[in-house]
Every structure is written in structure tokens, then in C-alpha cells.
């Protein structure tokens, strides 16, 4: 067991991080509004060729000139187009900075370039393709069945409504509320970062669509009780009653026991 494996993240950075995090969380919501759109269905030879150039320029340093991998990055032979579409399409790749895990950012490549990269990597070895539109339609899924699957397979990391959660040593399971249907599907299929892979035998394409339907249902439906407080559960509720509730109460007691002018 290595003590403080991640020294870079010094505990004293907490106060600074508080401020930064407060600023960033606001900005992050504005950034993650990308929507999925139809993907070019077939990859032409020229796509593969273009993709190869992009790969050599942007990815090869870590993943090897022909995707064989290196110490800095895993091999990509057989990961399929879905993995590329997810990693590049969410901005996780190319990696912005070393850290416990890749973070999302504004994608560096447009959809065409992403498709070209995907076509090239897919050409390296057979792997999962970018999902069919048919499997992404949340309205055709069963959110109740998806809920059962989500709670069993996903909620322990991502929280029951996909609010996210912590993993070991600085890794984390991200919030799912703004993730597109396509990226949700690809994540299940390819197991990005430390997420396990849910292949079609484990969660069939229909199961995955049900899961997507559930995630969309719970993140898009307004909470009947009022503001959600981040859906983080009792911790957020406890903080709220201490900071808002008790401040209001103390304000009232001070007003009540002060003398009138």
C-alpha cells in the first residue's frame, strides 16, 4: 500500500480547490451540452487513410505508430470504433493531462475527424462498432427493466440516478445526466478507463437501451419534491439543513430577541 500515492494532489490544495471547483462546476454544466447526431454508417478507405494521418499526428506518441500501445498508453488493436468514438467524442482523448483518469473536455476533433480516427482504429482489428441509432432510442426502452439493471450493474459506482461517485485513488465514476445516448451505449460496450466491459452477452443491445431509457428518465424528469440538491443523498440534505436551515433559524432567533428601536 503506497502512502499518498498521488502526492501531486496535496491536501492543502483543498481551499484553493474549493474555490476552483465552485467556479468550474458552473462552467462545466454549460460545456457538456453536446448532443449526439447520426454517425456516418460506413467507413470508406479514404476515411481510414485520413484517420491514419490524424492518428499518427495526435495519438501515436502514447498508443504506438500502428496502435500497438506503449508504456504511456494501451494498445488499441481490437478496441473497435466504439471506443474511439467515445474517448475522442467526449474529449477524454487526446489526454489533456496525466492524472488518475482521463477527464472530459471540449472534443478536440469534429465529428468527421472522429469518424476517420474510428475507422482507422477499427481497421486495426475487429472490435465493437459505433452503435446503431435503433439501439439508442430511449423512447423504445423500458425504464423499469433498465432501472433494475442499472441498480445492479451501474449504481454502485455511478449512484442510483447517475450522479456519479468516487473510486480508489482519485479515480471517479462520472455524472451521467448530460451524457448522450450514444456515449452511454459505447461506455457500456467498451468499458472506458476502469469501467468494466458489458458486452452483448452480459447486457444485450435491448438491455443497454433499457439502461439508457432509465438514465434519461431519471435525469430529465423533474423531481416532484422540488430542487434536487445534486441527487447526492443524505450528505447534501444534512449540509443543507445545517447551513441553510440553521442559518435561517439563528437569523430568526436574533431578530426575535433583539430589542425594537
- Enumerate the known binding-site residues: 59, 62-63, 154, 157-158
In angstroms, give the least distance from the CB of 200 to another protein: 9
What is the C-alpha separation between 180 and 131, in angstroms, rounded?
Answer: 12
Residue 250 interacts with another protein (CB under 8 A): yes or no: yes
CA distances from 195 to 91, 167, 171, 243 (A): 17, 10, 11, 35
Residue 125 interacts with another protein (CB under 8 A): yes or no: no
Among 17, 28, 60, 77, binds another protein (CB under 8 A): 17
Nearer to another protein, 107 or 164 (CB): 164
Residue 251 parent element (H or E): helix 246-257
Within residues 34-63, the interface with another protein by CB under 8 A covers none
Residue 206 interacts with another protein (CB under 8 A): yes or no: no
In angstroms, give the least distance from the CB of 49 to another protein: 30
Residue 96 parent element (H or E): none
Residue 23 interacts with another protein (CB under 8 A): yes or no: no
Residue 244 interacts with another protein (CB under 8 A): yes or no: yes
CB-based contacts of 180, cutoff 8 Å, min separation 6 = 34, 35, 36
Residue 140 interacts with another protein (CB under 8 A): yes or no: no
Residue 218 interacts with another protein (CB under 8 A): yes or no: yes
In angstroms, give the least distance from the CB of 94 to another protein: 19
3-class state of residue 166 by DSSP: strand
Q: Say if residue 230 is exposed, middle or buried (CB neighbours under 10 Å; 0-12, 13-18, 19+).
A: middle
Among 34, 123, 197, 205, binds another protein (CB under 8 A): 197
Residue 71 interacts with another protein (CB under 8 A): yes or no: no
Q: How many residues bind another protein (CB under 8 A)?
A: 89
DSSP conformation class of 7: T
Residue 177 interacts with another protein (CB under 8 A): yes or no: no
Would you list which residues are annotated within the binding site for heme c? 59, 62-63, 154, 157-158
Residue 231 interacts with another protein (CB under 8 A): yes or no: yes
> Which sign, positive or negative, has the C-alpha torsion 76, 79, 80, 82?
negative
What is the C-alpha separation between 182 and 122, in angstroms, rounded?
Answer: 17
Cell 462552467 belongs to 27
Amino acid at each position: 500500500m503506497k502512502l499518498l500515492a498521488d502526492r501531486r494532489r496535496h491536501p492543502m490544495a483543498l481551499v484553493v480547490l474549493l474555490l476552483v471547483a465552485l467556479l468550474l462546476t458552473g462552467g462545466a454544466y454549460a460545456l457538456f451540452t453536446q448532443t449526439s447526431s447520426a454517425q456516418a454508417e460506413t467507413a470508406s478507405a479514404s476515411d481510414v487513410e485520413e484517420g491514419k494521418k490524424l492518428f499518427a499526428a495526435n495519438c501515436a506518441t502514447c498508443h504506438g505508430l500502428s496502435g500497438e500501445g506503449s508504456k504511456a498508453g494501451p494498445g488499441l488493436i481490437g478496441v473497435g470504433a466504439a471506443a474511439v468514438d467515445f474517448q475522442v467524442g467526449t474529449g477524454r482523448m487526446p489526454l489533456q493531462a496525466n492524472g488518475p483518469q482521463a477527464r472530459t473536455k471540449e472534443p478536440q476533433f469534429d465529428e468527421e475527424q472522429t469518424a476517420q480516427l474510428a475507422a482507422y482504429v477499427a481497421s486495426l482489428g475487429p472490435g465493437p462498432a459505433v452503435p446503431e441509432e435503433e439501439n439508442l432510442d430511449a423512447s423504445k426502452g423500458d425504464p423499469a427493466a433498465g432501472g433494475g439493471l442499472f441498480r445492479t450493474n451501474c449504481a454502485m459506482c455511478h449512484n442510483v440516478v447517475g450522479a456519479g461517485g468516487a473510486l480508489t485513488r482519485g479515480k471517479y465514476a462520472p455524472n451521467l445526466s448530460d451524457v448522450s445516448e450514444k456515449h452511454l451505449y459505447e461506455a457500456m460496450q467498451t468499458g472506458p478507463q476502469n469501467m468494466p466491459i458489458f458486452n452483448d452477452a452480459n447486457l444485450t443491445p435491448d438491455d443497454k437501451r433499457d439502461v439508457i431509457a432509465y438514465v434519461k428518465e431519471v435525469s430529465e424528469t423533474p423531481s416532484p419534491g422540488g430542487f434536487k440538491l445534486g441527487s447526492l443523498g443524505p450528505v447534501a440534505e444534512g449540509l443543507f439543513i445545517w447551513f441553510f436551515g440553521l442559518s435561517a433559524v439563528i437569523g430568526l432567533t436574533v431578530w426575535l430577541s433583539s430589542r425594537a428601536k
